[in-house]
Amino acid sequence: MGFKKNAPMSDWEHLKTVLNDLKAGDLLRTPAVLDSPVGARVVVGGREVVCLCSNDYLGLAADEAVKAAAIEAINTWGVGAGASRLVSGTLQVHQQLEQRLAAFKGAQAAVVTSTGWMANHVAICALAGAGDLILCDKLDHASILDAARQSRAAVRTYAHGDRGRLRRLLERHRADYRECLIVTDSLFSMDGDLAPLEELVELKNRFDAKLMIDEAHATGVFGQTGRGVAEHLGVDEHIDVTVGTLSKALGAMGGFVAGPEVVIDVIRNTGRAYMYTTALPPAMCAAVLAGLDIVRDQPQRRQKLLAMAAELRDRLGAGGLSTLSSASQIIPVVIGGAAEAVAVSGRLLSEGFLIPAIRPPSVPPGASRLRISLCANHDPQDLARLADVLT
């Protein structure tokens, strides 16, 4: 036994089994390859189709002003940042973006990370550790759940949106720990529903806990100024720490944490996914700065997006299809089995709609679905036709 140098691929039987098992369960992933930029319409296999699966909610990923800002930044700053933020990787444009994000979120300070995944990691590991308790919604994003497990804090989850269960967990366990952190997505990425932030604020106050929210899918979309669900629900001032991503409505790449200065300073000094990785490319910072201008100056983009989503949900509902508790631009249509979901997705592609099947482990077994996500640039007539085809 032992490791055989230059072992032929036929030796990787255990990994082949993994793939064969996934294939047998219709869980093997074969993503569509786009021949065009992402947008409301994309080209797949030489054919233009309506794209209903990206997180480019405001159509900024290929927006002319955003692209021009990124190109100018490449000409000014080069392509790569060259090092970690703590070495020579902090450029003026990083600082500018962090100040802008702090102001946008109404926070004392903000720190930018290379992805949204990393933002959750550094935030959670700064806020909780051994001797602390983290309480998460079961449908929180994988980056939250993984970070909570890695933080060395005790972790408990409550059923999706179940405030009663959260209250009981606090009653039973809060006193056994030093600090307690409640973490929730503000807009759930697979169900498209909103977290009950008003009640979570009340619970965190009652039990002396802190509340961190992940506004990945809501930043730029919800709230009067596009800050997110906390602004939409009027609880902005009661959120302790906000995480967001620059990769969805803001159309680029990267993540951020916004909150009290002390939290941000601890992240800058201890956050492993901040310290031990190369800084975000400058073009991404400049693209996001341009995207934030659009969020500020063009509220009509998010208004149109949410109005189209409400209309599509109504049409699907009228046709007898459930969209769970979706209240956003993310609209799930649960099919059930993975094979059925793949089949429906294939038929939709032949009708000109790109909506891949979302299957376990992204969603629970038996809850495979179409996750329809809208973009402000969609043509309402395309959405009306989608509703007809689906219903």
Ligand X SMILES: Cc1ncc(COP(=O)(O)O)c(C=O)c1O
State the residues that interact with ligand X by CB under 6 A: 115-117, 120, 141, 143, 185, 189, 214, 216-217, 245, 247, 255
Number of CB atoms found within 10 A of residue 174's CB = 17
In this complex, which beta carbon is closest to ligand X, that of residue 186 or of residue 323? 186
Is 189 a catalytic site residue?
Answer: yes
* Catalytic hit among 217, 232, 304, 378: 217
Active site residue 362: no
109-113 and 255-259 strand pairing: antiparallel
In which residue are the tokens 């059925």 written?
340
Residue of 151, 189, 326, 328 marked catalytic: 189
- Return the residue nearest ligand X (CB atom): 116
Pairing verdict, β 47-51 and 353-354: parallel
Sequence letter at residue 326: S
Tokens matching residue 28: 């093997």
Residue with tokens 């693209």: 287
Q: Taking the complex as a whole, how short is the minimal distance between the CB of residue 254 and ligand X, in angstroms?
A: 7
| Residue whose CB is less far from ligand X, 214 or 231 | 214
Task: Indicate the residue among 242 and 345 with the shorter CB distance to ligand X.
Answer: 242
Q: How far apart are CA 4 and CA 242, in angstroms?
A: 49
How near is the Cβ of 259 to ligand X at its closest, in Å?
Answer: 16
Q: How far is the CB of 10 from ligand X (least distance, A)?
A: 36
d(CA 110, CA 105): 9
In the complex, minimum distance from the CB of residue 9 to ligand X, in angstroms, rounded to a whole number: 31
Going across the sheet that includes 180-185, the strands are: 109-113, 255-259, 241-245, 210-214, 180-185, 133-137, 154-158
The answer to whether 121 is a known catalytic residue is no
Please, what is the minimum distance in Å from the beta carbon of residue 113 to ligand X?
9
Complex with ligand X: residue 105 or 387, whichever CB lies closer = 105
> Residue-wise over 23-58: b if at least 16 C-beta within 10 A, else e?
eeebbeeeeeebeeebbbbbeeeeeebbbbbbbbbb
> Cα separation of 148 and 126, whole Å?
11
Quote the least distance from Cβ 50 to ligand X, whole Å: 21
Rounded to 5 degrees, φ, ψ at 42 are -135, 165
Nearer to ligand X, 214 or 236 (CB): 214
Nearest to 312 by CA among 299, 300, 298, 326: 326
Say if residue 361 is preceded by a cis peptide, omega within 30 of 0.
Answer: yes
| Spatial contact of 306 and 286, defined as CB atoms under 8 Å apart | no
Calculated CA dihedral for residues 97, 220, 216, 309, nearest 10 degrees:
-160
Contact 316, 387 (CB under 8 A): yes
Which residue lies nearer to ligand X by CB, 84 or 362? 362
Least distance CB 144 / ligand X (angstroms) = 7
Catalytic choice (94, 141, 210, 248):
248
Nearer to ligand X, 85 or 217 (CB): 217
The residues annotated as belonging to the active site are 189, 217, 248
